C-alpha cells in the first residue's frame, strides 16, 4: 500500500466503499472542523467476479441490540471457540458447525481478504421475479409501435419463470388478463378515481372468499401463485399470448379534440399497479415499469390540465407558486412510492416525450423505490430501445443485474454514529444505539430499504464522530463500520452481503497531516454534491449555492496554506487540489442550476446523480473532454474553452450526453470529402477514432446517453459550449487577443475568476 | 220511451206503454223468485249465487242473435224491481210478475210479456241472469262487436266531419284522412264535449284521448306525409306555438291567419303566402298536407335538436345477463345465436339498404363486460368494469359499430359469449349499473338509442340499485298493498330521468325463476318509453318461440327516439293528466326517450273555460322525435270534436272502449297510492255517477227501479267488472306480486284495442264458423267442442271432454281425449284441413297482437283448467270477482242509491 490513492482504489474494488476521510479525526469537535463530513459512498452490490458467495448463514453477535456479523476484525479465541464482537465487545460462542476451526482452519468470514463476503440464505420460499408493465396508450402511432416492439422483445429477455403483467392506460386504465384464450379480456378502471388497494383487489376479483378458520390453519402457505394468476403469468406460459396482446394494443380510442391533451390517467394506473402487487405479492421482488409519453392530465396525480393552451409548469411557475397541480400530484406519487417501498417493489419510469411528462411530480416513485428513471424524446429512438434492453443485461454469472427488496443496515463502533443516507432508499425508521440525532440526508435510522438496486447503485452514507474531545481514542485505535445488505438476488435467492471496514483514528491537532493526506477529494466532492442536491430538493437554489460556497471557503481556510490577507500565497496540498474545481463545475451543473432546464430535466439529472457510483458521479459533475488530432494520440484535455481548437475533434462525456465536436478545420475537411479519398485515409481514421470511443462508452452506460455528433458552428455545439469553463468569453476575448480556443457567449464566471475569489475569501480573516 | 216500467208484483204495468219492437233496445230485468218457483223449463237452472252452470246449453239461441242493429239514438234500458221491493230470497213467492225478455229469432229486440209463463221458456242463460231476486239483462259484448262490424266495417271511415264517433276497435275498417287524425292515432272517450265544466262535472264522464302517435297503419292506408318547410321550419302560431293545421283560418286575403287554438292573429310569412278562394280557403289547401290532413309530419330544423346539433343515428345496445341462471337455462346461447341473424333486421327507414343504427354489446353479472368489436380487430376484446358503484364506459371507439362493417367480429363475439361463461358460478347480478352503463355509452357517443336488457334475477349484488326480496303476500288487501307496486328505491327514478335526458330507451326482457321485483325493475323501462317482457321460469324448449318472436318484433319495430309530445287544445279545455310509459319534468311536455308504434299515451282533459258549441274543441298532438335514421321530425295529429250544451249529446257520442282504457289506466295508477279497495270503489262510484247522471238527465222519466243505460255505454258495467276483477285490482291466489306489477305497467301503455281484448278475452269455438266469438263464460263451453281463448297475452286451446275422436286425431295426432298432453304448447303440424285451420287461426291471432301469445292446451276437467277459467270473465271468479250479473245488480243498486 504505497499511497493513499492505491489504498483508496483497493478498498473501492474490494468493498465498494469510498470514504471522504480515510483517517478519522478522533473527536466530535475536530470532526466538525474538518468541514467535509465523515462519510462514504457505498456500492452495496458492487460486482465482484472474484467473490463466490458462501452457501451458509452468517454468525451473529448474540447481543440483541447488536447482532453484528462475525468478521475479520473480530478477535477470536480458537481454543475456547469464542469470538468477541468488535462493535459491542460481547463474547460469543461459535455455533456447533464451527467446532473444527483453528488458526489454520478459518472460515472465510474471518480471513482479512473477505472484508466483504456474501452469504446465500437457504431458507424462505423462493418466489419468481415480477415485471408489471404499465403502458401509456396516448402515444403517436409510430411511438406506440416502437414501444410495443420493445416490450415484445423484452419478453424474450425475461427469466422464463418470471411473472409478467400488463396494465395499459389512457383515459381509462386497463388491467389485462393474460390467461384467456380467444377473446382478450381486461378490467377497466376510471382514470379519474383513486381507489384503495382493497377496492382494487375487490374489483379485480383478487380477494379470496373467506376461508373458514379450521381450513385455513393447517393449509400450507402455498397460496400465492394462484391468487393473481389471471393478471400475472409466467413468461414461458403466455409469451405468445402477450406478444399478440401487445401487438393488438391500440392507441387510446377516446377522441382528443383540437387544442386538448389526451386524457392520461397515469396516477390511477400506477395506483392500480401498486395495489395489484400489494395485494398479491408483498415483499417479493417486483418491478413496476411505467412507460409514458406525456404528462398525467386527469385524476389523482394529474400534473397539467388537458387544455393545450395552458402549458405544463416551469421552474418559473414553481417559483411563483403558480403550479396548480404540483403539490397534490407530488403527494399522490409520494404516497404510492411509500406504499411500494413498504411492499418491497420498485417503480421504473420510462418517459419519452418532447415536452415534460411530470417527472418532477413522479420522481419519488423511482427515487424512493430504487427504480430506474429514463427520459427520452420518443420510444422510437435507440436511446430508449437500448436503455430498455440494458435493463435486462446479465452479469458474468448470467444473472440479471438487478436485485430487489434490499435492506441495508449500518453498524458502527462506539465512537461513531450514523447520521443518514442519500440514495435510492427509504428509511426503515430503526432507532438503534448507533443512530445520530443529527440528520444528514435520510436519517434517524441505521436501516434503509432499497427496493430495487443494481451493481452500480450507490448510497452516500454520512456519519458523525461522537467521541468527546476529552476522551481521546487510544493511539492506533481503529473505528469500524459494518454494512449488512440483505436482498433478493435476481436468481430469487435471498442473500446477505456483509462489508466490514476499519480506519485509523487520528488526533486532528497533532496528526492533521495524516488526516489531510488521507482525504479523498473525489469522494468528498461527490458526497458534498449529494448533500447539496439533497438540499436543493427542498431549499431555494441560491441558498444551496451559498452553503456550498461557505463549505468550500471553510475547507480552504482549514487546509490551505496561506498568509492572511494574501491571496497570492494561497496553496492547497495535492489531496485537495482538485476539490475547488469540482465545486466550480458542480455550481454550474444542472443538479443545482435550474436555469435552462425544465423541472422534469432537473428531476431526471438529480435522480441519476443520487444513485450512480463515484466515477459516474464525477463525470456528471465535471464532464470529461478528450481531444483527437494529428498531433498525437488521443488525450484528455481541460474542460475549458481553450480546448476547442479548429484542428481537433473533441469528445465530451457528461454522462447524460456524449458529444463529438469537429473543430472548424476538421469540419471543412470532412465537408470536402477528404475522408473518402484513399490518400487521406488517416483523416478517415481520425474521424473514426472518437466514434469508436463513444461507442465504447455507450455500450457501458446506463441509461444510454444522448449521442450528439456536431461540429463547429453546429446548433448542437451548445452542449459542449455550455459545459466548458468559459475562460474566453465575448467580454475578455479581445483583451486576451489570442487565436486559440473558442469564445463562449456567456456572463458566467470562469474557473480562473472563481479561484481568484476563493483565494481572496479564504485568506480573508473576515470570514 | 224505450224504458220499461217495472210491472208485476211490484208495480202496475201499463201494457200500452210497451215500446215498439223496432225500438226495443231497452232491456229489462225481471225478478223471478226462484226458490219458490222452480223454472219450468228443464234446461234452465237458476243460479243461486255461484253463477250459471249450463254445460248442456246448446240451444239455438246464439248469443246476441236477438239483438237488432242498435239505433244510435236509443239508449238501452234495463229495468229491475225497485230496491224497496227487493225482499231477499224466500219472501218472494208466486210466479214472477215482470215479463221476461222474449227473444224472437225473426224479430230483433224483446217483447215484453206480462204473462209469467212466457219467461221460463226463454233461454235466459244466454242473456239474462237472476240474482238475489233481481232479474237483469246482461248485454253481450260479442253482439255489440258483431253489430258494429256488420254496420260499419264495410264503409271507410272518412274523417272530414267534426265529432264523428269512429267504429269500434274490433271492427276492421279503412280510414280516409280528410282533416282529422285517424282513430288509429287518437280515440276519445267522447266526441262531443260538454261546453262547460259544470256539465262535465255533472256527467262525470272522463274526457280523455288515447293517443298512439306512431301507430302502425294497415298497408292500405298511407303513412303521414313528410312536409319540409326548409330552413324556416314548420309554421306555428306565435302565441300558443300550435303548428299549422287544417283548422287554421286564413284571413285578409291570405296574408294572415288566425290560430284555431288561441285565436291569435299571425302574419303569413311571404314564402308561405297563398291566395284564398271564394270560400276563404287557400288555393293550395289540397296540395299541402298540413292544410288538408289530420296527420302529417314536418321535417324539424336544427332549432328542434338537442344542443342545436342534428342528431346522430341512434344505437342499440344489447346487455346480457350471464349469471348462472341465464347460462343454465340456455338463454344466453339462444339469444346469442338469434342475435347473429337478427342484427340484419334492424329498423331502417324508407328504402335504405342498411340500417343506420349502430350496435354494442355488454354482458354482466356482478360486474360488467363491455366488448370492443371494432372491425379492424381479429378478435373482440372484453373489458371488465367492476366499479359498479361508479359506472362508466370503458371505451368509445369500437363499442358501437355498424353491423355490416364489424360482422365478423360480432359473430365471433356472439359465438364466444356462451362459451366464456359456460362454467360461471356467479349467481349475483347488478341492474342499475347496467342501465347506467348503457346510458353513459350513448352519452359518450352523443346519440339516442335503446338498451335491450336480458335479465334473470333480483339484483342483490352490492351496487347502486341493489334490491332485496320484499315480496309479501300478507300485504294484499291491506293499506300497505300499494307498496308492492311502488319501487323499492328512488334510485331508479333518478336513473330514468338521466336516461330520458339522453334519449336512452330501455327494453327489459325478464327471465325470473322467482321474485325479481318487477315493480322496481320496470321503473326505467316505464319512464323511458320502453317495454318489459317477462318469461317466468324460462326454459328454452318451451319458451323459445315466444321469446324469440317477441325479441324479433321488438328489435325490428320502428322507434322514435328522444321524443317530446305536446298536446295543445282549444281555449276552454286543457290536457291535465297523462298516462303511459314516459317521463314528465313539467306539466305539459311528455318526454319519451323512445316511442314505438305500440305505445299509447292517454291524456285527460279538463275544462278551464267555456267551450263554444259552434267552433267545437280542437286537439293537436305534436310529437318531436328522432327517426331510426337519425332524422329529426315533428308528427302532428289534429282532431276536431263537437261541443254540446245538452248532456244527451255527450252520452250519445261516447266510446266505452276508450272510456275503459282510461279508467283502467287511472285505476292502475291509483293502486300506487291508495289501497286497492279504495281504487275499486272509486271506479264503481264514478261509473255509477256517470250512469245515474244519464238516468237523471237524459232518459225519459220512468220508474226508479229500472236500470237504464245509454246506448253507447251499455257495455260499461261488464267491462268495468272485468277491470275490477283483473289481477291487479283483485288478485287470485296464484297471481304473484311480479305478475301484478308486470300487468300493471303493461296496461299503462296499451291502446284501446289492447285493453279491450285484455279485459274481455275472445273465446272462439272452433266448430262454428259464424259468429266467430262467444261470451267469456263457462256456460258457453260445450264439452263436445274446442275453443280458443286469447286476451293479447295468453292463448288457450280448451278441449271439451267429449270432443269427437276424429277431431282429436286430426288436431293432436293422438287417438283419444285422454292422450292429449295437458299444457301442450305446440300443435303438431298435420296435413288435414282442421289442423291447418286451427293453426292458421292461431297464427292470425298472434299476428294481430303486439306480443307473441304462447299457446296452452287445456283439457276439460284438468288441473290446468283453473288457469283457463280465470279468463272466463263473465263468471264469478275464484278470487271473489263478481259475475257479470252480480255486478250489474250491484251497479244498479249503486245507481239507485245515487238517484234517491
Q: A423: left (phi > 0), else alpha (psi -120 to 50), else beta?
A: left
Average pLDDT over residues B204-221: 94
CA-based torsion, B187, B188, B190, B194: positive or negative: negative
A174, A177, A184: residue with CB nearest B379: A184
Q: Hey, what's the cell of A229?
A: 394468476
pLDDT, tens digit, 9 for 90 and up, residues B718-738:
999 999 999 999 888 888 999
What H or E segment, with its residue span, contains residue A721?
Answer: helix A718-721
Determine whether the interchain pair A174/B387 forms a contact, defined as Cβ–Cβ distance below 8 Å: no
Contact A192, A268 (CB under 8 A): yes
> Mutate which of A171, A178, A180, A188 to test chain B, going by most B C-beta atoms within 10 A?
A188
Alpha helices in A560-578 (DSSP H): none
d(CA A237, CA B175): 71
Q: Hey, what's the cell of A621?
A: 459533475
> Mutate which of B336, B362, B381, B391 to test chain A, going by most A C-beta atoms within 10 A?
B381
d(CA A482, CA A628): 45
pLDDT, tens digit, 9 for 90 and up, residues A610-624:
999 999 999 999 999
Search chain B and give the residue with CA nearest A188. B385
Contact B589, B206 (CB under 8 A): no
Determine whether the interchain pair B385/A184 forms a contact, defined as Cβ–Cβ distance below 8 Å: no
Search chain A and give the residue with CA nearest B426. A205
Contacts of A713 (CB under 8 A, 6+ apart): A664, A667
d(CA B262, CA B259): 6
Per CB-CB distance under 8 Å, the chain A contacts of B380 are 183
Task: Decide if B535 is inside a domain.
Answer: yes
What H or E segment, with its residue span, contains residue A614?
Answer: helix A614-621
Task: Decide if B41 is inside a domain.
Answer: no
**Domain range for B554:** 315-558
Average pLDDT over residues B89-112: 35
pLDDT, tens digit, 9 for 90 and up, residues B749-799:
999 999 999 999 999 998 776 657 889 998 889 888 999 999 999 999 999
pLDDT of residue A280: 86
Residues 389-418 of B with CB under 8 A from A: 390, 392, 394-398, 413, 416
Strand partners, A658: A653, A707
pLDDT reading at B21 higher than 80: no
pLDDT, tens digit, 9 for 90 and up, residues B253-295:
999 999 999 999 999 999 999 999 988 889 999 999 999 999 9
Task: Decide if B195 is inside a domain.
Answer: no
Cβ of residue A255 closer than 8 Å to a chain B Cβ: yes
- CATH label of the domain that carries residue B791: 3.40.20.10
Pairing of strands B504-510, B449-455: parallel
Smallest CA-to-CA distance from B297 within B239, B232, B213, B187 is with B213
Q: Mean pLDDT score of chain B, rounded to an integer?
A: 84
d(CA A391, CA A133): 13
Which of B509, B530, B558 is the last residue in one of the domains? B558
Per CB-CB distance under 8 Å, the chain A contacts of B386 are 187, 202-205
ipTM of the complex: 0.84
Strand partners, A373: A349
CA distances from A250 to A148, A244, B207, B395 (A): 10, 12, 60, 12
pLDDT of residue A184: 86
- Residue B23 has what DSSP assignment? G
Smallest CA-to-CA distance from A561 within A762, A740, A386, A735 is with A762
Task: Decide if B846 is inside a domain.
Answer: yes
Contacts of A512 (CB under 8 A, 6+ apart): none
Determine whether the interchain pair B383/A183 forms a contact, defined as Cβ–Cβ distance below 8 Å: no
- Name the domain count of chain B: 2
Determine whether the interchain pair B377/A248 forms a contact, defined as Cβ–Cβ distance below 8 Å: yes
Task: Decide if B94 is inside a domain.
Answer: no
d(CA B2, CA B12): 17
| Residue located via cell numbers 394506473 | A269
For chain A, list residues with pLDDT below 70.
1-2, 124-125, 180, 208-228, 474-475, 732-741, 766-767
Burial A155-165 (b: 16+ CB within 10 A, else e): bebbbeebbbb
pLDDT reading at B41 higher than 70: no
Per CB-CB distance under 8 Å, the chain A contacts of B322 are none
Task: Decide if B786 is inside a domain.
Answer: yes
Smallest CA-to-CA distance from B343 within B384, B402, B290, B430 is with B402
Which of B524, B558, B592 is the last residue in one of the domains? B558
Task: Decide if B695 is inside a domain.
Answer: no
What H or E segment, with its residue span, contains residue A522?
Answer: helix A521-536
Taking the model in full, what pTM does it have? 0.84
Tell me the DSSP string of A50-97: T-PPBSSPPPB-S-TTT-PBP-TTSEEETTTTEEE-TTT--EEEPPGG
pLDDT, tens digit, 9 for 90 and up, residues A218-240:
434 444 444 457 899 999 888 88
Q: What percent of chain A has pLDDT over 70?
A: 94
Contact A754, A659 (CB under 8 A): no
HSE-CB for B15 with a 13 A CA cutoff:
6
Give me the long-range contacts of B683-686 (CB less than 8 A, separation at least 24): B683/B720, B683/B723, B683/B724, B684/B720, B684/B724, B684/B890, B684/B891, B684/B894, B685/B894, B686/B204, B686/B206
pLDDT reading at B236 higher than 90: yes
Per CB-CB distance under 8 Å, the chain A contacts of B397 are 253-255
B326 phi, psi to nearest 5 deg: -70, -35
Cβ of residue B422 closer than 8 Å to a chain A Cβ: no
Confidence of residue B900 (pLDDT cuts 50, 70, 90): confident
Search chain B and give the residue with CA nearest A171. B394
Contacts of B175 (CB under 8 A, 6+ apart): B156, B157, B158, B159, B166, B182, B183, B184, B221
d(CA B875, CA B818): 27
Pairing of strands B256-258, B265-267: antiparallel
Tell me the DSSP string of A159-222: -TT-EEEEEEESSEEEEEE-S-SSSEEEEEEETT----HHHHHHHTT-SPPPPPHHHHTTS-ST
d(CA A141, CA A147): 10
CA distances from A755 to A557, A577, A643, A761 (A): 13, 11, 19, 10
pLDDT, tens digit, 9 for 90 and up, residues B344-387:
999 988 777 888 899 999 999 999 999 999 998 888 999 999 98
Q: Hey, what's the cell of A428?
A: 426503515
HSE-CB for B627 with a 13 A CA cutoff:
17
Alpha helices in B432-531 (DSSP H): 432-445, 491-502, 518-521, 523-527
Pairing of strands A75-77, A82-84: antiparallel
pLDDT reading at B667 higher than 90: yes
Which of B530, B558, B586 is the last residue in one of the domains? B558
Determine whether the interchain pair A254/B390 forms a contact, defined as Cβ–Cβ distance below 8 Å: no
B377, B384, B413: residue with CB nearest A188: B384
Task: Decide if B185 is inside a domain.
Answer: no
pLDDT, tens digit, 9 for 90 and up, residues A118-146:
999 987 667 889 999 999 999 999 999 99
| Residue located via cell numbers 292515432 | B185
- CATH label of the domain that carries residue B322: 3.40.50.410
Contacts of B201 (CB under 8 A, 6+ apart): none
Amino acid at each position: 500500500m504505497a499511497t493513499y490513492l492505491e489504498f483508496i482504489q483497493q478498498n473501492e474494488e474490494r468493498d465498494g466503499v469510498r470514504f471522504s476521510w480515510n483517517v478519522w479525526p478522533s473527536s466530535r469537535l475536530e470532526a466538525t472542523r474538518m468541514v467535509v463530513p465523515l462519510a462514504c459512498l457505498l456500492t452495496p452490490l458492487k460486482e465482484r467476479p472474484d467473490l463466490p458467495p458462501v452457501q451458509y448463514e452468517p454468525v451473529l453477535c448474540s447481543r440483541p441490540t447488536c447482532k453484528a456479523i462475525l468478521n475479520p476484525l473480530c478477535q477470536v479465541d480458537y481454543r475456547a471457540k469464542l469470538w468477541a464482537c468488535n462493535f459491542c465487545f460481547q463474547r460469543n460462542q461459535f455455533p456447533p458447525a464451527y467446532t473444527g476451526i483453528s488458526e489454520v482452519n478459518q472460515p472465510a468470514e474471518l480471513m482479512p481478504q473477505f472484508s466483504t463476503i456474501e452469504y446465500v440464505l437457504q431458507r424462505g420460499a423462493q418466489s419468481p421475479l415480477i415485471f408489471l408493465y404499465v403502458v401509456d396508450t396516448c402515444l403517436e402511432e409510430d411511438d406506440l409501435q416502437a414501444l410495443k416492439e420493445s416490450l415484445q422483445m423484452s419478453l424474450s429477455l425475461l427469466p422464463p419463470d418470471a411473472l409478467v403483467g400488463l396494465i395499459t392506460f389512457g383515459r381509462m386504465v386497463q388491467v389485462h388478463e393474460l390467461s384467456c384464450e380467444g377473446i382478450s379480456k381486461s378490467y377497466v378502471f376510471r382514470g379519474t378515481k383513486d381507489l384503495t388497494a382493497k377496492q382494487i383487489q375487490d374489483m379485480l376479483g383478487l380477494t379470496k372468499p373467506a376461508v373458514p378458520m379450521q381450513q385455513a390453519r393447517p393449509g400450507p402457505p402455498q397460496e400465492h401463485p394462484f391468487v393473481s394468476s389471471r393478471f400475472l403469468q409466467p413468461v414461458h406460459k403466455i409469451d405468445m399470448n402477450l406478444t399478440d396482446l401487445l401487438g393488438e394494443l391500440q392507441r387510446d380510442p377516446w377522441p382528443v379534440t383540437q387544442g386538448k391533451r389526451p386524457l392520461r390517467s397515469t396516477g390511477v394506473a400506477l395506483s392500480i399497479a401498486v395495489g395489484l402487487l400489494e395485494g398479491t405479492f408483498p415483499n417479493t421482488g417486483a418491478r413496476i415499469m411505467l412507460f409514458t409519453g406525456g404528462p398525467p392530465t386527469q385524476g389523482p396525480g394529474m400534473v397539467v390540465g388537458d387544455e393545450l393552451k395552458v402549458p405544463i409548469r416551469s421552474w418559473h411557475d414553481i417559483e411563483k407558486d403558480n403550479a396548480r397541480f404540483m403539490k397534490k400530484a407530488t403527494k399522490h406519487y409520494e404516497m404510492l412510492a411509500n406504499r411500494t417501498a413498504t411492499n418491497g417493489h420498485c417503480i421504473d419510469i420510462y418517459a419519452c416525450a418532447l415536452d415534460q411528462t411530470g417527472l418532477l411530480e413522479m420522481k419519488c416513485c423511482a427515487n424512493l423505490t430504487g427504480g430506474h428513471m429514463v427520459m427520452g424524446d420518443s420510444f422510437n429512438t435507440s436511446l430508449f430501445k437500448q436503455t430498455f434492453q440494458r435493463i435486462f443485461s446479465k452479469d458474468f454469472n448470467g444473472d440479471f443485474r438487478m436485485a430487489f427488496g434490499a435492506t441495508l443496515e449500518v453498524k458502527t463502533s462506539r465512537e461513531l454514529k450514523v447520521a443518514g443516507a442519500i440514495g435510492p432508499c427509504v428509511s426503515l425508521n430503526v432507532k438503534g444505539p448507533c443512530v445520530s440525532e443529527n440528520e444528514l440526508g435520510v436519517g434517524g435510522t441505521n436501516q434503509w430499504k432499497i427496493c430495487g438496486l443494481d451493481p452500480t447503485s450507490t448510497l452516500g452514507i454520512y456519519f458523525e464522530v461522537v467521541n468527546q474531545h476529552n476522551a481521546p481514542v487510544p493511539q492506533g485505535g481503529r473505528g469500524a463500520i459494518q454494512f449488512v445488505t440483505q436482498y433478493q438476488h435476481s436468481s430469487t435467492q435471498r442473500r446477505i452481503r456483509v462489508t466490514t471496514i476499519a480506519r485509523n483514528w487520528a488526533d486532528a491537532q497533532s496528526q492533521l497531516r495524516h488526516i489531510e493526506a488521507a482525504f479523498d477529494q473525489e469522494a468528498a466532492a461527490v458526497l458534498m454534491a449529494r448533500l447539496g442536491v439533497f438540499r436543493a430538493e427542498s431549499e431555494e437554489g441560491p441558498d444551496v449555492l451559498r452553503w456550498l460556497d461557505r463549505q468550500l471557503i471553510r475547507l480552504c481556510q482549514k487546509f490551505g496554506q496561506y498568509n492572511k490577507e494574501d491571496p497570492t500565497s494561497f496553496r492547497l496540498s495535492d489531496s485537495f487540489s482538485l476539490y475547488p474545481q469540482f465545486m466550480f463545475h458542480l455550481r454550474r451543473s444542472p443538479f443545482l442550476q435550474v436555469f435552462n432546464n425544465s423541472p422534469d430535466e432537473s428531476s431526471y439529472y438529480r435522480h441519476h446523480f443520487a444513485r450512480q457510483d463515484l466515477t459516474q458521479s464525477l463525470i456528471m459533475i465535471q464532464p470529461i473532454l478528450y481531444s483527437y488530432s494529428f498531433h498525437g494520440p488521443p488525450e484528455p484535455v481541460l474542460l475549458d474553452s481553450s480546448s476547442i481548437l479548429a484542428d481537433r475533434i473533441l469528445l465530451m462525456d457528461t454522462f447524460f450526453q456524449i458529444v463529438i465536436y469537429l473543430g472548424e478545420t476538421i469540419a471543412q475537411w470532412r465537408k470536402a470529402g477528404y475522408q473518402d479519398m484513399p490518400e487521406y485515409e488517416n483523416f478517415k481514421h481520425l474521424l473514426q477514432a472518437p466514434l469508436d470511443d463513444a461507442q465504447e462508452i455507450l455500450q457501458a452506460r446506463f441509461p444510454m446517453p444522448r449521442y450528439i455528433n456536431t461540429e463547429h458552428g453546429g446548433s448542437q455545439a451548445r452542449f459542449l459550449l455550455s459545459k466548458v469553463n468559459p475562460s474566453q468569453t465575448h467580454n475578455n476575448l479581445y483583451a486576451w487577443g489570442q487565436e486559440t480556443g473558442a469564445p463562449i457567449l456567456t456572463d458566467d464566471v470562469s474557473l480562473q475568476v472563481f479561484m481568484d475569489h476563493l483565494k481572496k475569501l479564504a485568506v480573508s480573516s473576515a470570514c | 220511451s224505450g224504458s220499461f216500467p217495472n210491472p208485476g208484483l211490484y208495480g202496475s204495468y201499463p201494457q200500452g206503454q210497451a215500446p215498439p219492437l223496432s225500438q226495443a233496445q231497452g232491456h229489462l230485468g225481471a225478478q223471478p223468485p226462484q226458490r219458490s218457483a222452480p223454472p219450468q223449463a228443464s234446461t234452465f237452472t237458476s243460479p243461486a249465487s255461484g253463477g250459471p252452470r249450463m254445460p248442456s246449453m246448446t240451444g239455438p239461441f246464439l248469443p246476441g242473435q236477438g239483438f237488432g242493429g242498435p239505433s244510435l239514438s236509443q239508449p238501452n234500458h234495463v229495468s229491475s224491481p225497485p230496491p224497496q221491493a227487493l225482499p231477499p230470497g224466500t219472501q218472494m213467492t208466486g210466479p214472477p210478475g215482470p215479463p221476461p225478455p222474449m227473444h224472437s229469432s225473426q224479430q230483433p229486440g224483446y217483447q215484453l210479456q206480462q204473462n209469467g209463463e212466457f219467461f221460463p221458456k226463454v233461454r235466459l242463460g244466454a242473456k239474462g241472469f237472476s240474482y238475489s231476486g233481481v232479474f237483469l239483462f246482461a248485454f253481450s259484448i260479442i253482439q255489440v262487436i258483431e253489430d258494429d262490424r256488420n254496420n260499419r266495417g264495410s264503409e271507410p271511415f272518412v274523417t272530414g266531419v267534426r265529432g264523428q264517433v269512429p267504429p269500434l276497435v274490433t271492427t276492421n275498417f279503412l280510414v280516409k284522412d280528410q282533416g282529422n287524425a285517424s282513430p288509429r292515432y287518437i280515440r276519445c272517450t267522447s266526441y262531443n264535449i260538454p261546453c262547460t265544466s259544470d256539465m262535465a262535472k255533472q256527467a262525470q264522464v272522463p274526457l280523455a284521448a288515447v293517443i298512439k302517435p306512431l301507430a302502425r297503419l294497415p298497408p292500405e292506408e298511407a303513412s303521414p306525409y313528410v312536409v319540409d318547410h326548409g330552413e324556416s321550419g314548420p309554421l306555428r302560431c306565435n302565441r300558443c306555438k300550435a303548428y299549422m293545421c287544417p283548422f287554421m283560418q286564413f284571413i285578409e286575403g291570405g296574408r294572415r291567419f288566425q290560430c284555431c287554438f288561441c285565436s291569435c292573429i299571425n302574419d303569413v310569412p311571404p314564402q308561405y303566402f297563398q291566395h284564398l278562394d271564394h270560400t276563404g280557403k287557400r288555393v293550395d289547401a289540397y296540395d299541402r298536407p298540413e292544410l288538408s290532413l289530420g296527420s302529417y309530419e314536418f321535417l324539424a330544423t336544427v332549432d328542434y335538436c338537442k344542443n342545436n346539433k342534428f342528431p346522430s343515428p341512434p344505437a342499440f345496445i344489447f346487455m346480457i345477463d350471464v349469471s348462472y341462471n341465464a347460462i343454465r337455462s340456455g338463454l344466453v346461447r339462444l339469444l346469442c345465436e338469434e342475435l347473429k341473424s337478427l342484427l340484419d333486421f334492424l329498423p331502417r327507414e324508407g328504402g335504405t339498404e342498411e340500417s343506420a343504427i349502430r350496435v354494442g354489446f355488454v354482458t354482466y353479472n356482478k360486474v360488467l363486460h363491455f366488448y370492443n368489436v371494432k372491425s379492424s380487430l381479429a378478435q373482440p376484446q372484453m373489458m371488465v368494469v367492476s366499479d359498479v358503484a361508479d359506472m362508466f364506459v370503458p371505451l368509445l371507439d369500437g363499442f358501437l359499430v355498424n353491423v355490416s362493417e364489424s360482422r365478423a367480429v360480432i359473430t365471433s363475439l356472439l359465438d364466444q359469449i356462451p362459451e366464456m361463461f359456460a362454467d360461471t358460478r356467479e349467481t349475483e347480478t347488478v341492474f342499475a349499473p347496467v342501465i347506467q352503463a348503457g346510458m353513459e355509452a350513448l352519452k359518450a357517443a352523443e346519440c339516442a338509442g335503446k338498451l335491450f336488457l336480458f335479465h334473470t334475477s333480483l339484483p342483490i349484488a352490492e351496487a347502486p340499485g341493489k334490491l332485496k326480496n320484499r315480496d309479501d303476500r300478507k300485504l294484499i288487501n291491506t293499506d300497505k298493498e300499494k307498496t308492492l307496486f311502488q319501487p323499492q328505491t328512488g334510485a331508479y327514478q333518478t336513473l330514468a330521468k338521466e336516461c330520458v335526458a339522453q334519449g336512452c330507451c330501455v327494453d327489459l326482457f325478464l327471465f325470473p325463476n322467482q321474485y325479481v321485483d318487477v315493480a322496481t325493475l320496470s321503473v326505467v323501462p316505464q319512464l323511458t318509453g320502453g317495454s318489459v317482457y317477462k318469461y317466468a321460469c324460462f326454459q328454452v324448449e318451451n319458451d323459445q318461440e315466444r321469446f324469440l318472436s317477441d325479441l324479433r318484433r321488438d328489435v325490428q319495430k320502428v322507434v322514435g327516439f328522444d321524443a317530446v309530445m305536446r298536446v295543445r287544445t282549444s281555449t276552454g279545455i286543457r290536457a291535465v293528466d297523462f298516462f303511459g310509459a314516459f317521463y314528465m319534468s313539467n306539466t305539459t311536455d311528455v318526454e319519451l326517450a323512445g316511442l314505438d308504434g305500440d305505445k299509447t299515451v292517454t291524456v285527460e282533459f279538463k275544462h278551464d273555460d267555456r267551450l263554444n258549441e259552434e267552433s267545437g274543441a280542437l286537439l293537436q298532438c305534436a310529437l318531436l322525435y328522432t327517426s331510426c335514421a337519425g332524422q329529426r321530425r315533428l308528427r302532428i295529429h289534429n282532431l276536431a270534436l263537437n261541443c254540446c250544451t245538452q248532456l244527451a249529446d255527450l252520452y250519445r257520442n261516447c266510446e266505452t272502449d276508450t272510456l275503459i282504457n282510461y279508467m283502467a289506466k287511472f285505476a292502475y295508477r291509483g293502486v300506487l297510492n291508495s289501497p286497492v279497495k279504495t281504487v275499486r270503489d272509486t271506479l264503481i262510484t264514478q261509473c255509477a255517477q256517470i250512469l245515474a247522471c244519464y238516468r237523471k238527465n237524459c232518459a225519459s222519466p220512468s220508474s226508479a227501479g229500472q236500470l237504464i243505460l245509454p246506448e253507447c255505454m251499455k257495455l260499461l258495467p261488464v267491462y268495468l267488472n272485468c277491470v275490477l276483477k283483473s289481477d291487479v285490482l283483485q288478485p287470485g291466489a296464484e297471481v304473484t306480486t311480479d305478475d301484478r306489477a308486470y300487468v300493471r305497467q303493461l296496461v299503462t301503455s296499451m291502446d284501446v284495442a289492447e285493453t279491450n281484448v285484455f279485459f274481455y278475452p275472445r273465446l272462439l269455438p272452433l266448430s262454428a264458423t259464424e259468429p266467430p266469438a262467444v261470451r267469456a263464460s263457462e256456460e258457453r263451453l260445450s264439452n263436445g267442442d274446442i275453443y280458443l281463448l286469447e286476451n293479447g297475452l295468453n292463448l288457450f286451446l280448451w278441449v271439451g271432454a267429449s270432443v269427437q275422436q276424429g277431431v282429436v286425431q286430426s288436431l293432436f295426432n293422438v287417438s283419444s281425449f285422454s292422450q292429449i298432453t295437458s299444457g301442450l304448447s305446440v300443435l303438431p303440424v298435420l296435413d288435414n284441413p282442421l289442423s291447418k285451420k286451427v293453426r292458421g287461426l292461431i297464427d292470425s291471432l298472434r299476428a294481430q297482437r303486439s306480443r307473441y301469445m304462447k299457446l296452452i292446451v287445456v283439457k276439460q276437467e284438468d288441473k290446468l283448467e283453473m288457469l283457463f277459467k280465470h279468463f272466463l270473465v263473465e263468471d264469478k271468479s275464484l278470487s271473489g270477482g263478481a259475475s257479470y250479473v252480480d255486478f250489474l245488480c250491484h251497479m244498479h243498486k249503486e245507481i239507485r242509491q245515487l238517484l234517491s
